[in-house]
Structure 1
Amino acid sequence: MIVRNIVGGKPSHDIVTVKRDDTVRTAVEILARHRIGAVIVSDDGAIVDGILSERDIVRALGTVGAACLEAKVKDLMTSSVVGCHYDDTAHAVLGKMTEGRFRHMPVIEDNRMVGVISIGDVVKARLEEIEMENSALTGMIANSW
């Protein structure tokens, strides 16, 4: 299974972004409203400047307290973002996420963000793929008797 098939059912207008100069409080409100665990940081909505996750926010809360909510997103975001492409396999994406210990990844085509994929999306797709393989193998075994 490739990324294109996984994010194909998710409209591109579902990409949730914040700007670098937004406050962390604004980002937290957006995360809560959309019930997501990370938000892409992009001043123009297409070029990825960074990513801000729940983990980034919790880490800041633990070190500086609630004052971090008034900080700018650019001060907490991860700026070295690992992305993927439509033709990457689910296995490759899962490997990158596991190795990097992150759960969200922008999908980039022609240097522009076209979607966001989460570890939940990848796991769900892999489970569906495994179920189809299981059904096919079960059918082959049943037909061989």
Structure 2
Amino acid sequence: MLVKQLLSMKSDTAKPWIESGLIVTIKPDATLAEAAKLLAEQRIGAVVVSSNGRTPEGILSERDIVRQLGNHGPDVLSKPISGIMTKSVQTCTAGEEGMAILQRMTEGRFRHMPVVDGQGDMLGVISIGDAVSGRLKELAAEKDALTGMIMGS
């Protein structure tokens, strides 16, 4: 399954209040507290950091926030996320295979990846859950096809 198919399936998720084409972003000068509030309001696990809302400059996850709180205490909530975010954002394109993305996420131990076009503008964000769901649907379709062949239908 291609990444563009994974993106198209997002409207079928358990979050009907989030449009499948919506990319939640935050500016790099926002505070960690503002980012935590945004994540909670949107009920998402990571937010793309972008000055213009189109190109990813970083990514910030719930885990990043928890680590900062654990290491530095609540005073860190007033710090800008630019110093905390992951700056080397892994991205993918709509034409890449979902299994390859799932492998990259697993090996890199991250759970969210912006999907970009040829100019680096974001088309969406996929999660490891999106990739796993896509793979499970592929496997179910393969099973049904093989069952049909065996049963002669």
Offset at 1:8? Answer: 2.0
Query: Unaligned stretches of 5+ in structure 1?
Result: none
Matched, 1:116 2:125: yes
Matched, 1:137 2:140: no
Partner Cα distance (2:142, 2:92) in 1: 25
Deviating more after overlay: 90-99 vs 4-13:
4-13
> Is contact 1:12-1:114 (8 Å) kept?
no
Matched, 1:104 2:126: no
> Is contact 2:55-2:121 (8 Å) kept?
yes
Q: Which runs of 4+ in 1 moved over 6 A?
A: none
Give the TM-score, by structure 1 length. 0.95
- Percent identity over the alignment is 51
Query: Unaligned stretches of 5+ in structure 2?
Result: 11-18
User: Which AA in structure 1 matches 2:84?
Assistant: L
Tell me what 1:60 maps to: 68
Partner of 1:44, secondary structure, is coil
Tell me what 1:37 maps to: 45
> Is contact 1:4-1:86 (8 Å) kept?
yes
Offset at 1:45? Answer: 0.5
Task: Map 1:14-29; keep pairs closer than 5 Å.
Answer: 14-29=22-37
Partner Cα distance (1:118, 1:86) in 2: 14
> Residues 35, 99 of structure 1: CA spacing in aligned structure 2 closer, same or farther, 3 A cutoff?
same
Give the TM-score, by structure 2 length. 0.90
Matched, 1:3 2:12: no
Alignment: residue pair count? 144
